[in-house]
Structure 1
Amino acid sequence: MIKITKFGGSSVANAQQFTKVKNIIEADPARKFVVVSASGREHKDDNKVTDLLYLIEAHLKYSVDYLSLFQLIEERFLTIKKDLNLQYPIEKDLEELKGQLSKSMSTDYLVSRGEYLTAKLMAEYLGFPFVDAKDIITFHYDGKIDFDATKYRLDGFMKNHDRFVMPGFYGALPDGMIKTMSRGGSDITGSILARILNADMYENWTDVSGILMADPRIVHHPKRIDKITYSELRELSYMGASVLHEEAIFPVKEKNIPINILNTNHPEEGGTIIVEEDDGESGEMITGIAGKKNFTVVAIYKNHMSDEVGIIRRALEVFENYRVNIEHIPSGIDSFSIVVSGDEVNDVIYDIVSDIKRACNPDSIKVIDHIALIATVGRKMMYKPGMSGKIFSVLGENDINIRMIAQGSDEINIVVGVEDKDFEKTIDAIYHSFVKD
């Protein structure tokens, strides 16, 4: 059996966390391929190494002294080395990095050093070979992963090794220049390796015991999701409920490799399994609830609109011209609404409305601000008649006014729009109406 194990920043924040990682690795001989993030926060007032590196980059840009920031990074790695009695000469790496700091330095190279240095120490601590991500993970020049080149390089390394520690978050372009992924990209690194190595499981170790059915800041002690499909996770992640980088789903989804979200601090608690399909009979009717605030709805009404070809396209082109992403497009016979992030249109909404009037000649157009979208997600909902009606009834009983309704064609999610002030109340009401105690 092959397991890829990726450990997030909180899992490698200090020597004590390193020890937990080692215990996890040694508990299962299938855990031979380890990916690490940069050392994260030890406590809520601490700094992530990656954040410090980005701050150094900003200080360099504006010719501001950065030595105090760099000292924090040095102290982090030197303390881990000392506490674990490691021998790797990380002082040389830190001194070399300090000597390279300049305005012309590649940002991708600089911020990747957090993962690189963390992985160097972890490799020695586990007694595993270190492999630099830049020598394996290969990007095309357009920023997409070159899976063929990556597999070729990894196969070459694996001829002489049966295990390794690799830094996440970065790789290299064909010319050897280091390129980073988006923040949280170490999740993607683990997913790429799982696909190429045909892993049986991709374990993603973090500081939570899986994915919760709702935000614990809103719902008191929500249940953990034991099993979720990739499609459901995608829906919930889009609404902000995720402990996994959403781009990490796609490499393993194609090969139906399950992902297990686990807690480094409490491995005994189990976690959430993410799979391609699950036809299990047991479990809750809904899988999870998530949402976001501060959307803007542009509602367009025109008599006999159903007889007019292209009106929605013309309206969408206006938003495209302003480079605004569309969230939802609920529609009726003579009307349709375009839902967008309020932050994206705050400064241009009146220009957009003016352009829509010229392009579509509507009878009326209305802008509704401060709308929250809440998605109720569940693969079993399609088999339960009246789910939408029950949700609407529950919200009515709680004096929550529904301003918008949308449902995906695959019937695994029902989205309602309510006023921002009713956001928390809506999530709490839906959760306690559908989830068994």
Structure 2
Amino acid sequence: MKVIKFGGSSLANGAAVAQAVRIIQADPARQVIVTSAPGKRHHDDTKVTDLLIQYAQSVQNQQNSQAIIKEIFDRYQAIAAHFNLPASALTPIKGALNELPNGDYPTAAYRLATFKAHGERLNAQLLAAILNHLGLKARFVDPKEIGIMVTGTPNNAMVAPETYHLLADFQLAPDERIVVPGFFGFTMAGYIATFSRGGSDVTGAILARGLGAERYENFTDVDAIFAVDPKLVAAPAPIKVMTYREMRELSYAGFSVFHDEALLPAIAARVPINVKNTLAPDKPGTMIVTDRDFTPTRPITGIAAGKHFAALYLHKYLLNKEAGFTLQILKILDAHEVPYEHMPSGIDDITIVFDQHHLTPELVDEICDEIQTTINPDRLEWINEFALITIVGEGMASSPTIPAEILATLAHEKIAVQMINQGASKIATMIGTDPADCDRAVQVIYNHFFN
């Protein structure tokens, strides 16, 4: 049995859904189908999830929501019309949209999560109806019925361990297909909570692990995962096979093809993941496997970059002699609920790298003031714009010259390096640069190792 997941672009309109149906039909082992909400049909279009967020905001502000309800319903109606689905099949979808404001929500955050989740929920109901209309036995299964339980906050949930006990008891008939909405689960109290954006990937991986799938196929809009962002390098090399560790490092660093948290359930169950193109399903795509099942053919697998970082630099003489110095900094960050990305250090200095999405100017001032008061460093500098380039490859562990080659290549192009950090696994090297140099640095590194 295989679990397959379709992204938003793969279910954006009737023609896209028809292609998804052909993919489902092509392999009887594709029994568990995970849906995303309908995505953009063209560049200027709006995703259904974003429309549902607007709907939730209009309810919150006590505004008339009829126009936005119609716009959302029209998206599903257009898909149904492509298959000549009877109007009665859309009645539950229209009713669910109209009833959303009347739900029992303990907080506004839970209301928002429930509204967002209905992009996937209604699309799963619609896809199940389409499959049955076409003569394919299919059943819509809600996350509550199949047992996807979550903890955490309403819009950033995490799978609860109880989920896998419940999934183990779920009965799947040999001749049926089930359609499960991605992106959300249910709290212990029975409320809907969503994973972070892109969380349908997470649902697919949870089901692949819990149902004991032989493979998790993730259908998207690219032929494969590429070694670098195609916007930066023309015709970059496709990655045929990579490890979970490599994909997680690259996803975290900026690759947008696959949700980095989605790897965790698959890693636990050692389920191979196959990223494939919905429009070219016969192409091999990219296989993501365990490091035990992988032999690198080149030292570097991929390069990712992000410009959404900031850094705090501290210098204090004899810092290495002060026990608890780093602990004091971490306590300040913990008190403000601010995570950090990297913390490379020297004898007398520390650089702490942050994701700017977790910060505000006021919060930066508070953190810097508290560090200055508590630790009294000789120098405290905030770097507001900071780019991180992550070079990843299982082959780097057996190629000790790679970091030196990276630095030499950048130096030859007169690109300054503000930070370098490498984990103990040696499969990822992080380079800090000025954002203005970031794109060129990625191109230079890629050309050196791939061309």
The question of a shared fold, defined as TM-score above 0.5 by the shorter chain, is answered with yes
- Distance in 2 between residues matched to 1:307 and 1:155, nearest whole Å: 56
- Distance in 1 between residues matched to 2:408 and 2:293, nearest whole Å: 28
Corresponding residue of 1:329: 343
**TM-score of the superposed pair, with normalisation by structure 1:** 0.93
Per the alignment, in what secondary structure is the counterpart of residue 109 of structure 1?
Answer: helix
CA contact (8 A) 2:221 2:279 kept: yes
Q: Does 1:378 align with 2:393?
A: yes
CA contact (8 A) 1:376 1:414 kept: yes
Corresponding residue of 2:37: 38
Per the alignment, in what secondary structure is the counterpart of residue 129 of structure 1?
Answer: strand
**TM-score of the superposed pair, with normalisation by structure 2:** 0.90
Deviating above 6 A after TM superposition, structure 1's stretches of 4 or more consecutive aligned residues are: none
Question: Per the alignment, do residues 203 and 58 of structure 1 end up closer, same or farther by CA in structure 2, a change over 3 Å counting?
Answer: same
Q: Does 1:302 align with 2:331?
A: no
Per the alignment, in what secondary structure is the counterpart of residue 269 of structure 1?
Answer: coil
Amino acid across the alignment from 1:205: F
Q: How does 1:74-85 map to 2 (within 5 A)?
A: 74-85=73-84
**Residue deviations 1:340-380, cap 9 Å, x none?**
23451533334333322222222222333322111111110
Amino acid across the alignment from 2:75: R
CA contact (8 A) 1:5 1:205 kept: yes
Per the alignment, in what secondary structure is the counterpart of residue 380 of structure 1?
Answer: helix
- Distance in 2 between residues matched to 1:315 and 1:380, nearest whole Å: 35
Structure 1 residue corresponding to 2:129, chosen from 113, 116, 124: 124
For residue 171 of structure 1, report the CA deviation from its aligned partner.
Answer: 2.7
Question: What is the number of equivalent residue pairs in this alignment?
Answer: 435
Corresponding residue of 2:18: 19
For residue 250 of structure 1, report the CA deviation from its aligned partner.
Answer: 1.1
Structure 2 residue corresponding to 1:196, chosen from 190, 204, 210: 210
Structure 1 residue corresponding to 2:115, chosen from 86, 110, 130: 110
Amino acid across the alignment from 1:118: N
Per the alignment, in what secondary structure is the counterpart of residue 395 of structure 1?
Answer: helix
Corresponding residue of 1:431: 446
- Distance in 1 between residues matched to 2:163 and 2:364, nearest whole Å: 45
Corresponding residue of 1:412: 427
Q: Does 1:392 align with 2:410?
A: no
For residue 424 of structure 1, report the CA deviation from its aligned partner.
Answer: 0.4
Corresponding residue of 1:244: 258
Corresponding residue of 2:236: 222
Corresponding residue of 1:10: 9
**Residue deviations 1:71-107, cap 9 Å, x none?**
1222221222122022372332244234424376642
**Unpaired runs of at least 5, structure 2:** 106-110
Question: Per the alignment, do residues 341 and 38 of structure 1 end up closer, same or farther by CA in structure 2, a change over 3 Å counting?
Answer: closer
**Unpaired runs of at least 5, structure 1:** none
Corresponding residue of 2:108: none
Per the alignment, in what secondary structure is the counterpart of residue 416 of structure 2?
Answer: coil
Structure 1 residue corresponding to 2:144, chosen from 134, 157, 164: 134
Per the alignment, in what secondary structure is the counterpart of residue 311 of structure 2?
Answer: strand
CA contact (8 A) 2:146 2:170 kept: no
Structure 2 residue corresponding to 1:358, chosen from 359, 368, 373: 373
- Distance in 2 between residues matched to 1:91 and 1:124, nearest whole Å: 9
Per the alignment, in what secondary structure is the counterpart of residue 114 of structure 2?
Answer: helix
More deviation, 96-105/359-368: 96-105
- Distance in 1 between residues matched to 2:443 and 2:278, nearest whole Å: 29
For residue 217 of structure 1, report the CA deviation from its aligned partner.
Answer: 1.3
- Distance in 2 between residues matched to 1:98 and 1:337, nearest whole Å: 49
Corresponding residue of 1:268: 282
Corresponding residue of 2:50: 51
Aligned Cα RMSD in Å? 2.2
CA contact (8 A) 1:9 1:41 kept: yes
- Distance in 2 between residues matched to 1:216 and 1:418, nearest whole Å: 20
- Distance in 2 between residues matched to 1:305 and 1:219, nearest whole Å: 42
**Residue deviations 1:393-424, cap 9 Å, x none?**
00001110111111111101111111111010
For residue 50 of structure 1, report the CA deviation from its aligned partner.
Answer: 1.6
Question: Per the alignment, do residues 180 and 302 of structure 1 end up closer, same or farther by CA in structure 2, a change over 3 Å counting?
Answer: closer
- Distance in 2 between residues matched to 1:300 and 1:237, nearest whole Å: 29
Identity of aligned residues (%): 36
CA contact (8 A) 1:377 1:413 kept: yes
For residue 140 of structure 1, report the CA deviation from its aligned partner.
Answer: 4.9
For residue 9 of structure 1, report the CA deviation from its aligned partner.
Answer: 1.2
Q: How does 1:308-319 map to 2 (within 5 A)?
A: 308-319=322-333
- Distance in 1 between residues matched to 2:97 and 2:173, nearest whole Å: 35
Structure 2 residue corresponding to 1:158, chosen from 172, 180, 183: 172
CA contact (8 A) 1:212 1:288 kept: yes
Question: Per the alignment, do residues 71 and 292 of structure 1 end up closer, same or farther by CA in structure 2, a change over 3 Å counting?
Answer: same
- Distance in 1 between residues matched to 2:211 and 2:167, nearest whole Å: 12
Question: Per the alignment, do residues 79 and 190 of structure 1 end up closer, same or farther by CA in structure 2, a change over 3 Å counting?
Answer: same
Question: Per the alignment, do residues 63 and 333 of structure 1 end up closer, same or farther by CA in structure 2, a change over 3 Å counting?
Answer: same
**Residue deviations 1:298-344, cap 9 Å, x none?**
22222222222111222232333333221111111122222223451
CA contact (8 A) 2:226 2:237 kept: yes
CA contact (8 A) 2:143 2:185 kept: yes
Per the alignment, in what secondary structure is the counterpart of residue 113 of structure 1?
Answer: helix
More deviation, 329-338/54-63: 329-338
Per the alignment, in what secondary structure is the counterpart of residue 286 of structure 1?
Answer: coil
- Distance in 1 between residues matched to 2:76 and 2:15, nearest whole Å: 13
For residue 269 of structure 1, report the CA deviation from its aligned partner.
Answer: 2.8
For residue 165 of structure 1, report the CA deviation from its aligned partner.
Answer: 1.5
Per the alignment, in what secondary structure is the counterpart of residue 179 of structure 1?
Answer: strand
Per the alignment, in what secondary structure is the counterpart of residue 417 of structure 2?
Answer: coil
Question: Per the alignment, do residues 159 and 223 of structure 1 end up closer, same or farther by CA in structure 2, a change over 3 Å counting?
Answer: closer
CA contact (8 A) 1:211 1:271 kept: yes
Per the alignment, in what secondary structure is the counterpart of residue 17 of structure 2?
Answer: helix
Corresponding residue of 1:97: 96
